[in-house]
Amino acid sequence: MSDIWQETNKFFVERGFARKIGFGKRPAVIVIDIIGAFTNPDLPLGTNLEQVINETKKVLNVSRQADIPIFFSTLSYDDKDLKDAGVWALKQGGLVTLRSGTPEAEVEPRLERRLSEPLIVKKYASVFFGTDLFTRLNTLGIDTLILTGCTTSGCVRATAVDGLQYGFRVIVAEEAVGDRADMAHKQSLFDLNAKYADVVSVTEVLHFLSSLKIPINEEKKV
């Protein structure tokens, strides 16, 4: 952390920000928008997300072993004129690449999404907005959200803020989220950690997930 970030962080901590929320007892992993339109650097919305993909795979591997719920999200639009994107289409021309049924709207194949892992289709930034994600999480008794994906300053941030507002403990896996601009990425991580979530290393996330001896689905049957 640079001197200016350290100084800013010290100021925030002294004012009572950046306290730890901590992990709860029933986590779910939310893989946000790791789809073709974002993983291909040649596309308008794309960037190099190799690290994000690799680190997310680590989280997924451990989560699957522990039978922890995993949700994926994608952005996709059906209307020819992007009316289902609302005024957001006026702000971001790249949304035109997110057509339903195209490779650009599909989850990155290297993540090996399983049919048992729901795909939340959304139209805007937050995975909660206009979807049934909250109901799904509430039905499972989830209290902790572990976020990976992209972009840190956009859909990850929006989902984290909504997650907190819905009463979840939000954990952002630092190396498993990414952005097109390093400045936006770092600022968003700083701000999220100060106000809305715990930003922790993937190593810490893996340690927590590995510590869950009883799979959630099995525990609920007892």
Residue 8 in any domain: the answer is no
* CATH number of the domain where residue 191 is located: 3.40.50.850
Looking at residue 221, what is its pLDDT?
43
Active-site residue numbers? Answer: 155
Residue 14 in any domain: the answer is no
Residue 136 in any domain: the answer is yes
Residue 11 in any domain: the answer is no
pTM here is 0.91
User: Which letter, b or e, does each residue of 173-205 get, where b requires 16 or more Cβ atoms within 10 Å of its Cβ?
Assistant: bbbbbbbbeeeebbbbbbbbbbebbbbbebeeb
Number of domains in the chain: 1
Contact 115, 70 (CB under 8 A): no
Residue 165 in any domain: the answer is yes
Residue 220 in any domain: the answer is no
Q: Which domain holds residue 171?
A: 23-214
Q: What are 151-196's pLDDT values in tens digits?
A: 999 999 999 999 999 999 999 999 999 999 999 999 999 999 999 9
Residue 113 in any domain: the answer is yes
Residue 187 in any domain: the answer is yes
Mean pLDDT of 88-117: 95
Mean pLDDT of 116-122: 98
Share of the chain above pLDDT 90, in %: 86
